[in-house]
């Protein structure tokens, strides 16, 4: 699928030659990665239930027929889905939490192995931006050599006081590895949407249908004119702390905006016929589903910070606005 304008395209659409961008070592295949994850899981204890919300499951209405949505994204039809009980992180995984994983395992992310990642051009220092190749259709993205989870704007940058911000520049493969090490897993797309809705039925956002009810900012998105000017009226030009803004009815934070979040499911725009009990998407595919939108979403380009909105990304893709949260099945 074609990425929404606030999202970078797949890695393989930004050819490194003849531009000065080297891919370096190719990312491990998913098959190779499964063995790596199994090894990490065997040698690492479960992280426990701290920071997780226990949800009872049951039936909910998934999807949307929102006239302002993107029909080609497969948001509809609205369909009844039944879920078993599960647990999910109240917040996205933070830089501090991911650093603990790296220190314990020595894991190298896809961005580190491949050698580069996508960074929004407005965040890239001029010295790096001049030579960074850009996708033709979305030139506000730069392929930055050395951009990683702990150097999110490229060499010379650091996470500094962003320990409680969501980790970014993590691929699906990386998110899967962390989840396995933590004794958890990535949520299915259905679990993610059920949890993100916070008990509301058919609402556009986790708090209702109005973006800024009573003038109160409830999420971290692009405020202004994309991609030229972000007023940061909601308080943040880039990522926000994972517990910024009020939680939804289930106690989850930032399920709209801030960072896109990986799900376990392969991407598809068609959905199986009911009954839908604990659906998991197709068995195979080329892209994984990401949900929630990010701080770069604006309704003029990417109105995907709605709860039902969805997009796709290849398993090795990474960027400065994509992270994840974990889920767990009851023992």
Tell me the per-residue pLDDT of 83-100, one tens digit each, with 9 for 90 and over.
Answer: 999 999 999 999 999 999
What is residue 39's predicted lDDT score, i.e. its pLDDT? 60
Sign of CA dihedral 27, 242, 298, 21: negative
Q: In terms of Cα–Cα distance, which of 324, 306, 76, 309 is closest to 187?
A: 324
Residue 175 lies in a domain: yes
Query: To 10 degrees, the CA torsion angle through 234, 244, 250, 266?
Result: 80
Give the integer Cα–Cα distance in Å for 224 and 245.
19
Give the integer Cα–Cα distance in Å for 42 and 38.
6
Task: Identify the H or E element spanning 313.
Answer: strand 310-314
Task: Give residue-wise pLDDT tens across range 250-305.
Answer: 999 999 999 999 999 999 999 988 899 999 999 999 999 999 999 999 888 788 99
- End-to-end distance of the chain based on CA atoms, in angstroms? 37
Helix (H, G, I), strand (E, B) or coil at 81: strand
* Whole-prediction pTM: 0.91
Sign of CA dihedral 101, 169, 12, 280: positive
Q: Give the DSSP letter of residue 51.
A: T
What is residue 75's predicted lDDT score, i.e. its pLDDT? 95
Mean pLDDT of the chain: 89
Pairing status of strand 260-266 against strand 322-323: parallel
Residue 6 lies in a domain: no
Task: Give residue-wise pLDDT tens across range 45-67.
Answer: 444 578 999 999 999 999 999 87
Helix (H, G, I), strand (E, B) or coil at 13: helix
Q: Which residues of 233-261 are buried (b: 16+ CB within 10 A; e: fewer)?
A: ebebebbbbbebbebbebebbbbbbbbbb
Residue 3 lies in a domain: no
Among the listed ranges 15-19, 117-121, 154-158, 256-260, which one has the minimum average pLDDT value? 15-19
Domain boundaries, position 147: 11-328
Q: Which residues of 71-108 are buried (b: 16+ CB within 10 A; e: fewer)?
A: eebbbbeebebbbeebbbbbbbbbbebbeebbeebebb
Mean pLDDT within 177-189: 96
Residue 5 lies in a domain: no
DSSP per-residue string spanning 103-163 = HHH----HHHHHSEEEEEGGGS-HHHHTT----SS-TTEEEEET-BTTBTTSTT---TT-T
How many folded domains does the chain comprise? 1
Residue 171 lies in a domain: yes
Give the CATH number for residue 313: 3.90.1580.10
Helix (H, G, I), strand (E, B) or coil at 191: helix
Give the integer Cα–Cα distance in Å for 145 and 117.
7
């Amino acid at each position: 699928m074609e990425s929404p304008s606030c999202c970078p395209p797949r890695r393989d659409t930004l050819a490194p030659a003849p531009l000065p961008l080297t891919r370096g070592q190719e990312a491990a295949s998913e098959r190779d990665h499964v063995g790596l994850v199994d090894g990490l899981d065997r040698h690492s204890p479960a992280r426990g239930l701290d920071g997780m919300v226990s949800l009872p499951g049951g039936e909910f209405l998934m999807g949307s027929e929102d006239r302002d949505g993107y029909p080609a994204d497969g948001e509809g039809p609205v369909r009844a889905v039944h879920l078993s009980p599960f647990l999910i992180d109240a917040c996205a995984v933070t830089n501090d939490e991911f650093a603990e994983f790296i220190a314990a395992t020595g894991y190298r992310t896809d961005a580190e192995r491949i050698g580069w990642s996508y960074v929004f051009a407005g965040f890239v220092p001029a010295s790096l931006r001049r030579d960074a190749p850009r996708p033709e259709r979305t030139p506000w993205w730069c392929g930055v050599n050395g951009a990683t989870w702990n150097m999110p704007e490229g060499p010379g940058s650091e996470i500094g006081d962003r320990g409680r911000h969501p980790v970014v520049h993590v691929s699906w493969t990386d998110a899967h590895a962390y989840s396995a090490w933590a004794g958890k897993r990535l949520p299915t797309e259905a679990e993610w949407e059920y949890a993100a809705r916070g008990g509301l039925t058919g609402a556009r956002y986790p708090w209702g249908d109005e973006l800024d009810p009573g003038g109160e900012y409830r999420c971290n998105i692009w405020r202004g004119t994309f991609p030229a000017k972000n007023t940061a009226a909601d308080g943040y030009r880039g990522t926000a702390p994972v517990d910024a803004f009020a939680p939804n009815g289930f106690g989850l934070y930032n399920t709209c905006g801030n960072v896109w979040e990986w799900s376990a499911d392969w991407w598809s725009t068609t959905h199986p016929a009911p009954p839908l009990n604990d659906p998991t998407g197709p068995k195979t595919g080329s892209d994984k589903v990401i949900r929630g939108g990010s701080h770069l979403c604006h309704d003029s380009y990417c109105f995907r910070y709605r709860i039902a909105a969805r997009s796709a990304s290849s398993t090795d893709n990474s960027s400065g606005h994509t992270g994840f949260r974990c889920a767990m099945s009851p023992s």
